[in-house]
Amino acid sequence: MPPVCTLTLERTSLPQVKTSVTAQAGEQAVDEGEQAKSDEYSDVMSQQMGSALSYRHEKGINFADILDDLMVGSCLQTPEDVDRLADEQRVGSIVNLQEDTDMAFFDLDLSPIRERCMARGDVAHNRHPIRDFDPFDLRMRLEGAVQLVADQVKALEGSGKKVYIHCTAGLGRAPATALAYMYWCRGFSLQDAQETFYARRPCCPRIQSIRQATVDLLSEGSKLTPVTISLSRPFLATTLQIAGLDVGWGQHIDLEWNSKLHRYETTRSLPPGRYPYKFIMDGRWTYSADHPTFTEGDHTNNYVEVAAPSSDPAVVEMRERLLSENGQLTDSEREKLQAHFRV
């Protein structure tokens, strides 16, 4: 099974979440199908993110103010959600981070929502899909998501309106994007951004992806290096796959037979960083003692370390500092980021 993240949240200190629940006079029966899908999604989220948080799609949209001009929450489900955000919460722009498959899982139709935005004329609808539960995809797409948010905030400047960032549950991709925006564009340290955010909304964003994306922006960190993972002893398995690396734990990569080297292998192009992975043999998750391993909780995983392209001492110091838990940007690094995002 995949590992869990180690971020722990103090649930008791996070009460300030606004929730909209569709209700009529008397108690209504909740669709069992939606309940089942919420249960399934929450189970996967708990496993992939290592969090006890859950998402109840059948209860409608939920959200929280993060800054005066920034809100984060769950996905819009109906055109009426557009009206609620615009009329009651002063939202002037929506940034949707969902993929089509995310919306299909909950049978969401985006067309009526976008049509309502266009009909109103006072709410912009924007999309920047990021794969759910995938720290690598988040790392690679975070820059574009933050630029979109920065552009929308700038477009609404002086209007008193807010930008609303959402993914599906509003607990992973959307918080990570908001935190990165606060860190890169608004002068927060990453630690202060987390403290501010967690005081308003419980979540479990991939903080390490933000750190890695920060280093990528400030260096040549996004340069890709071909990395081959191989397995010579399949232990009579007929189906050999690998999970982790750059596709996350929710996807599986088939290993192909190399007749010249007499082994099963796959080659991925990866930026610098450490990438955990596991082999899947006939559906059974396992690790190989022939590859580097690390233990996290009850899980033992393999990993591959991709070295940074630069050996410049200043770049090495910057990488080590910003990838550490309490790493701080220098004044010149912050200026570089703000110039990059045109803020």
Residues 62 and 18 sit within 8 Å (Cβ to Cβ):
yes
Catalytic residue, candidates 75, 167, 185, 203: 167
H-assigned helices in the chain: 32-49, 79-83, 89, 100-105, 110-120, 135-155, 173-185, 190-198, 207-218, 313-323, 331-340
The residues, ordered by sequence, that sit 6+ positions from 307 with a Cβ below 8 Å of its Cβ are: 225, 272
Contacts of the segment 28-33: beta carbons below 8 A, 24+ positions apart? 30/58, 31/58
Name residue 148's amino acid.
L
- 203 counts as catalytic: no
> Do 215 and 180 contact (CB within 8 A), yes or no?
no
Residue whose entry in the numeric block shows the structure tokens 């200190």: 13
The amino acid that residue 147 corresponds to is: Q
As annotated, the active-site residues are 167
